[in-house]
């Protein structure tokens, strides 16, 4: 049974103080939920979030949005897995399309990051997805297949904890979503790739989220799809009330 997840990717939003305010607004409402609620905050907001959350809150987890694969070195401006370990984050988003597009991250680099995250006890949320041009050329599967090639090399004992987020680039921040059926179709296809590249068992265990203009009004249609294990949400995760609402809706559909 896959544990459903609603993860907020705050991107470059919220100071430490704003993050604290957000947390105090959502903390109690999210407590009894049976879905995992994850806050992927900017690095500087993670320590105040961890402090305010403590370790005892069962339903809210913390995540980072990127990291370098090396533990230390001359990499100005980067953050290492050891530094994230120290912040006690559970998850790290890797290969987000904004990292791929604006910071030219390659599949090979993202693969090294996923390895390193696993080696340091962090669970990667690996993002994949096609651009509009690629979709229009009918290349969706080909692009995602390339982005998933690292799967066959990842450590066998860790890989079932991996979270994959299918985020079609044309749906991110645009207000346009893939239809729930289309998102479920691509996610089903990703699961079959995992079957082929890794094993049937792992393909049944890996959680696959949909991301791209998800909000409190449309999340239910995605959660209604058997194939979709949750959502990675940008803009709509910034407001406490819409975050709580999305967690509640996901919990009603998928919670245990
Ligand atoms: P939006 O929900 O703002 O479209 O962003 C999606 C996303 O990129 C989450 O990682």
Q: Which amino acid residue places its CA nearest to atom 1 of ligand 1?
A: 234
In the reported structure, the alpha carbon of residue 30 is separated from the centroid of ligand 1 by a whole-number distance in angstroms of 21
**Ligand 1, pocket residues at CB < 6 Å:** 9, 96, 167, 172-173, 211-214, 232-236
Q: What is the pLDDT of residue 183?
A: 97
For residue 127, how far is its CA from the centre of ligand 1 (angstroms)? 11
- Residue 134 annotated in active site: no
Instruction: Indicate which atom in ligand 1 lies nearest the CA of residue 127.
Output: 10
User: What is the Å distance from ligand 1's center to 74 Cα?
Assistant: 31
The candidate with the shortest Cα–Cα distance to 21, out of 58, 54, 48, is 48
- Our mutation pick for probing the ligand 1 site, out of 95, 132, 173, 217, counting the most ligand atoms within 8 A of Cβ, is 173
The pLDDT value given to residue 57: 65
- Ligand 1 atom closest to the CA of 171, numbered from 1: 4
pLDDT computed for residue 175 by the predictor:
87
Q: Which of 96, 111, 130, 248 is catalytic?
A: 96
- What pLDDT is attached to residue 64? 98
Q: What is the 3-state secondary structure (H, E, C) of the chain?
A: CCCCEEEEECCCCCCHHHHHHHHHHHHHHHCCCCCEEEEECCHHHHHHHHHHHCCCCCCEEEEECCCCCCCCCCCCCCCCHHHHHHCCCCEEEECCHHHHHHCCCCHHHHHHHHHHHHHCCCEEEEEECCCHHHHHCCCHHHHHHHHCHHHHHCCCCCHHHCEEEECCHHHCCCCCCCCHHHHHHHHHHHHHHHHHHCCHHHHHHCEEEEECCCCCCCHHHHHCCCCCCEEEECHHHCCHHHHHHHHHHHHHHHCC
Q: pLDDT at position 1, please?
A: 81
Q: What is the pLDDT of residue 256?
A: 64
Q: Which two tokens stand for residue 143?
A: 């692009």
Task: Please identify every stretch of the chain with a pLDDT value under 50, giving residue numbers as ranges.
Answer: none
Q: Which one from 111, 167, 227, 248 is the annotated catalytic residue?
A: 167
At 3-46, the pLDDT tens digits run 999 999 999 999 999 999 999 999 989 887 789 999 999 999 99
Among 167, 236, 237, residue to substitute to test ligand 1 (most atoms within 8 Å of Cβ): 167
pLDDT digits (tens, 9 = 90+) for 87-101: 999 999 999 999 999
Token duo for residue 192: 């079959």
User: How confident is the model at residue 33, as a pLDDT?
Assistant: 72
130 is catalytic: no
5-254: CATH, from 1.10.238.10, 3.20.20.70, 3.40.50.300, 3.40.718.10: 3.20.20.70
Q: Which value, in Å, is the radius of gyration of the alpha carbons in the chain?
A: 17
pTM: 0.96
Q: How far is the CA of 128 from the centre of ligand 1 (A)?
A: 12
Ligand 1 midpoint to CA 94 (Å): 14
Q: Which of 8, 11, 209, 246 to mutate to test the pocket of ligand 1 (most atoms within 8 A of CB)?
A: 11
> For position 59, what pLDDT does the model report?
82
């Amino acid at each position: 049974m896959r544990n459903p997840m609603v993860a907020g990717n705050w991107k470059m939003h919220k100071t430490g103080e704003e993050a604290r305010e957000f947390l105090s607004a959502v903390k109690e409402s999210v407590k009894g939920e049976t879905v995992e609620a994850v806050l992927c905050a900017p690095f500087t907001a993670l320590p105040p979030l961890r402090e305010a959350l403590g370790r005892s809150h069962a339903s809210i987890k913390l995540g980072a949005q990127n990291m370098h694969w090396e533990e230390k070195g001359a990499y100005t401006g980067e953050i290492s897995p050891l530094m994230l370990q120290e912040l006690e984050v559970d998850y790290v988003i890797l290969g987000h399309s904004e990292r791929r597009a604006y910071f030219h991250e390659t599949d090979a680099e993202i693969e090294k990051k996923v390895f390193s995250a696993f080696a340091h006890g962090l669970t990667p949320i690996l993002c994949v997805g096609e651009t509009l041009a690629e979709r229009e050329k009918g290349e969706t599967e080909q692009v995602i297949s390339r982005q998933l090639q690292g799967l066959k090399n990842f450590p066998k004992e860790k890989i079932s904890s991996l979270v994959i987020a299918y985020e079609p680039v044309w749906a991110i921040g645009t207000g346009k979503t893939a239809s729930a059926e289309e998102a479920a179709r691509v996610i089903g296809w990703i699961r079959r790739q995992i079957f082929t590249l890794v094993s049937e068992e792992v393909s049944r265990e890996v959680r696959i989220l949909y991301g791209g203009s998800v909000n409190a009004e449309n999340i239910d249609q995605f959660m209604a799809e058997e194939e979709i294990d949750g959502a990675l949400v940008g803009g709509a995760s910034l407001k406490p009330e819409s975050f709580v609402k999305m967690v509640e809706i996901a919990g009603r559909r998928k919670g245990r």
